[in-house]
Amino acid sequence: MATFKDFRNNVKPNWCPGCGDFSVQAAIQRAAANVGLVPEELAVVSGIGCSGRISGYINSYGFHGIHGRSLPIAQGVKMANKDLTVIASGGDGDGFAIGLGHTIHAIRRNIDITYIVMDNQIYGLTKGQTSPRSSVGFKTKSTPQGSIESSLSVMEMALTAGATFVAQSFSTDLKDLTSLIEQGINHKGFSLINVFSPCVTYNKVNTYDWFKENLTKLSDIEGYDAHNKVSAMQTLMEHDGLVTGLIYQNTEQKSYQELVHNYSEEPLAKAKLELDEAQFNELVKEFM
C-alpha cells in the first residue's frame, strides 16, 4: 500500500518560503495515499503561474499545460483513460481569468475530475498584479490607485453553474484540506476545491493572519446542511464567501461519463486502435 512518501519525487519546489502552495502539494500527496492510489493511478495537470509548477513536484503522471488550459487537458486525459484519478490545478488567475470559460463548462459538464485552485488574490509569478479575486481598492503594480473592479465570487458562481461538489479550505489547515481532496476524489462528478493560499511576497493584505481573523468554518455553523443548495448560497452570501469546508455536494446527478452514449467500458488508452484494410475501406466509403 502506498504512503504519501511514494508521491514525492526529487524535484525541490522553488516557491517562496512560506507560500501556501507547499501545503496544497502535501495535501494532494496525503489524500492520494489515503484513498488507496499508487503513483501510476494519478495524473496531475496544471496551468501557468506559481501554482502551475505543482504537477512537476508530485510523483505521478504530470502535465504542465498552457495558461488557463489545465481543465481541457485534464478532461481529455480522463476521457481517454477513465481508470486514472485526474486532478487539475492552478491559481485564481489561471482558473478565474483566462481559464474561466473552461472552468464554467467543466462545472456544468460534471466530468469526473477534481479541480484544485490555489487562490492568493494576486498574480504571483508575474510579480504582483491584480487578479479576478482581488478586492475593490486593492493596490498592485497594475492598479496603483486601487482596483475599481469587484472581486469574482467564485463559490457562488460554481453553485449557479450547477456544480455537484463545491468546497473551500485554507492552506494552514492541512487536515481539513486533505479530507476535502479525498472527498473530491471519491465524488463521482466534477469537484471544485478553492484553497486560500496566501502569497507572502506580493499580497500584504490577504495574509495568513487576515484569513485567520476572517474565515468561518462551516463545521462551526450549527445545522449547516451541505446538501441544501439554497442554504449553501445563503451562507456564502452572508459570509462574503469566506467560509471553509464542504459547501455543497449533490450525489444524485450523474457524471459526464455515465451519460455519454456508448461510452466504452474499456479505456481508450488500453483499446486496440489499429484498423485493418477492410475496416479502413469501409470507413472511407462514408465520404465517397
- Asked if residue 275 belongs to a domain, the reply is no
Q: What is the mean pLDDT of residues 65-73?
A: 93
- Asked if residue 131 belongs to a domain, the reply is yes
- Asked if residue 169 belongs to a domain, the reply is yes
- Asked if residue 142 belongs to a domain, the reply is yes
- Asked if residue 273 belongs to a domain, the reply is no
Q: Considering the entire predicted model, what is its pTM?
A: 0.93
Instruction: Indicate the SS3 state at residue 277.
Output: helix
Please state the domain count of the chain: 1
Strands (E), 92-176: 114-119, 122-123, 129-130, 165-170
Note whether 199 and 19 are within 8 A (CB): yes
Residue 82 is classified by DSSP as T
CATH of residue 125: 3.40.50.970
Expressed as residue numbers, the domain containing 32 is 4-261
pLDDT band at 288 (very low <50, low <70, confident <90, very high): confident
- Asked if residue 106 belongs to a domain, the reply is yes
The cell numbers describing 12, all together, are 525541490
pLDDT at 269 over 90: no
Q: What is the mean pLDDT of residues 253-268?
A: 88
Please indicate whether residue 273 or residue 140 has the higher confidence score (pLDDT): 140
Q: What is the mean pLDDT of residues 36-44?
A: 97
pLDDT in tens, 80-134: 999 999 999 999 999 999 999 999 999 999 999 999 999 999 999 899 999 999 9
The cell numbers describing 151, all together, are 472581486
pLDDT in tens, 162-190: 999 999 999 999 999 999 999 999 999 99
Q: What share of the chain is helix, strand, coil (3-state, %, to 5)?
A: 40, 15, 45
pLDDT at 72 over 90: yes
- Asked if residue 88 belongs to a domain, the reply is yes
- Asked if residue 271 belongs to a domain, the reply is no
The cell numbers describing 159, all together, are 453553485
The cell numbers describing 262, all together, are 456508448
Q: Which residue, among 106, 107, 84, 86, has the nearest Cα to 28 in the 3D structure?
A: 86
